[in-house]
Amino acid sequence: MNDLDVLKVFCAGDGSHGNLLGVVRDGRTCPDDASRQALAAELGYSETVFVDDPERGVVDIRTPGTRPAFAGHPLVGVAWLLDVEELNPPAGAVWARDDGEFTWITARAEWVEGKRTVQYASPAEVDALPAPPPGEGWLYAWAWEDETAGRVRARGFPRRPDGVITEDEATGSAALLLTAQLDRALNITQGAGSQILTAPGPDGTIEIGGRVRFAPAAAGVPRPRQ
């Protein structure tokens, strides 16, 4: 598929880590629900985005088994790739901006569905969790690295029945939910070393920001545009 870009979203400062994202720039190449879900499952990324109208920012987000109305890292990645000021996933209008290093989106915590945050006593306890931990439902495990500075250590476990994604490397929607619960700006290190920045805004909105880079081509996956 020559219109597939593969991105890393929420990279560390040196461009490493980040959550892989597939972006199909021309959604007409997968026009129906079945073909989109099949491609998302084939790629196996935590999310794949289909761009249906690049000018108006209309996008369709898919996991390997579901169609969420909102997801953080796909929208940050698409905002960076398309260089747009507004995206329109099913959840509603999402404003976007780029400050030269980080790409930011503005969203609402009520758009986050099916995720639960659990605080642990220390980053070491978060690091020691098996992947996935026992239990059911989407778990965002976190602990303070430095509460005064707003630095958080986190890991995300989808624990979906399909088991395709054991651990999510960087989860913007869960970071948004945690920010709303704590009502403060956060600097989150998730997974192997991805970085997510958040900040509460007016009227219950929250900004989520991160670095985005093109990913090297993976085996069996078309090489993204450079």
Tokens 């659990």 identify what position? 118
Q: What is the mean pLDDT of residues 158-173?
A: 92
Question: First-to-last CA distance in the chain?
Answer: 15
Strand ranges for the chain from DSSP E: 4-11, 19-24, 47-53, 58-62, 86-87, 94-98, 103-108, 115-119, 138-146, 151-157, 186-190, 194-200, 205-214
Q: With bands split at pLDDT 50, 70 and 90, how would you rate the model's confidence at 225?
A: very low
Domains 4-106 and 111-207 share a fold: yes
- What tens digit of pLDDT does each residue of 175-198 get? 999 999 999 999 999 999 999 999
pLDDT of residue 219: 37
Q: What is the mean pLDDT of residues 152-179?
A: 94
Domain boundaries, the chain: 4-106, 111-207
pLDDT of residue 222: 45
Note if the pTM is more than 0.85. yes
pLDDT of residue 3: 86
Q: What is the mean pLDDT of residues 199-208?
A: 94
pLDDT of residue 192: 97
DSSP bridge partners of 116: 139
Q: With bands split at pLDDT 50, 70 and 90, how would you rate the model's confidence at 133?
A: very high
pLDDT of residue 56: 95
- What tens digit of pLDDT does each residue of 62-80 get? 999 999 999 999 999 999 9
* pLDDT averaged over every residue in the chain: 94
Find, among 211, 14, 201, 200, the residue nearest to 103 by Cα: 211
Q: What is the mean pLDDT of residues 119-142?
A: 97
Q: Can you name the CATH fold of 111-207?
A: Diaminopimelate Epimerase; Chain A, domain 1 (3.10.310)
pLDDT of residue 223: 38
Q: What is the mean pLDDT of residues 210-218?
A: 86
CATH match for 4-106 among 3.10.310.10, 3.90.1150.10, 3.40.1260.10, 3.20.20.70: 3.10.310.10
pLDDT of residue 2: 62
